[in-house]
Amino acid sequence: MNNKNAVGAPTNKKQQEKTWTSIMDKPMTIIEKNMLGSNIRSLSADQLRGIISILSDSNNVEQNLKYFEFDIENLPVRKLRELEKYVKSSLNTTSNANKIKKQVMPAQMTENEKIAQLKVF
C-alpha cells in the first residue's frame, strides 16, 4: 500500500515528521531570503513583536526596543524557517481579515462611496 494521499503528501505520521524536519533543515535560497525580508518589512508593529520573540528566544532581549536589527544571512537555517512559517501565518491572517473587511464594507458605505468604488481607472 502506498503511504501517500491523493496529493502526494505522506500519510504516515513518521514520514510527515521526517518531511517536516527536512523542510526545517533545508537551506534557504537567496530568493527565499529576499522574499522573507520583504514580507517581514510588510508586517504590522504587533506582528513584528513575534519576529523579535522568535529571534530573541535564546537571548534576553528587551521587548520594548526602539530598533531591532538582525542579518538574515547570519541566522541558522532552522531560525529562518521558523521566521518563514510565522510570517506566512501572519500574512494569511492579515489577508483573511482584509477579505472580511471588504465583504462587510459595502453594506456600510454610502451610495456615493459605492458609486466611486465602481469607477474603473
Q: CA 90, CA 42: separation in Å to the nearest integer?
A: 10
Grid coordinates belonging to 77: 537555517
Low-confidence ranges of the chain (pLDDT < 50): 1-3, 5-7, 119-121
Total domains present in the chain: 1
Q: Is residue 3 part of a domain?
A: no
Which residues does residue 4 pair with via DSSP β-bridges, in sequence order? 10
Domain membership of residue 27 (yes or no) is: yes
Q: Is residue 101 part of a domain?
A: yes
**4 domain-assigned:** no
Q: How many CB atoms lie within 10 A of CB 80?
A: 19
Which conformational region is residue 28 in: left (phi greater than 0), alpha (psi within -120 to 50 degrees), or beta? Answer: beta
Residue 5 placed within a domain: no
Does any domain span residue 7? no
List the CATH number of the domain containing 110.
1.20.1270.220
Considering the domain boundaries, does residue 78 fall inside one?
yes
Q: Is 10 helix (H, G, I), strand (E, B) or coil?
A: strand
Looking at residue 14, its pLDDT comes to: 61
For residue 67, the model assigns a pLDDT of 77
For 18, 19, 75, 84, the CA distances from 91, given in Å and listed in that order, are 26, 24, 21, 11
Expressed as residue numbers, the domain containing 21 is 13-118
Quote the pLDDT of residue 107: 56
Q: How many CB atoms lie within 10 A of CB 120?
A: 3
Q: Give pLDDT, residue 66.
A: 73
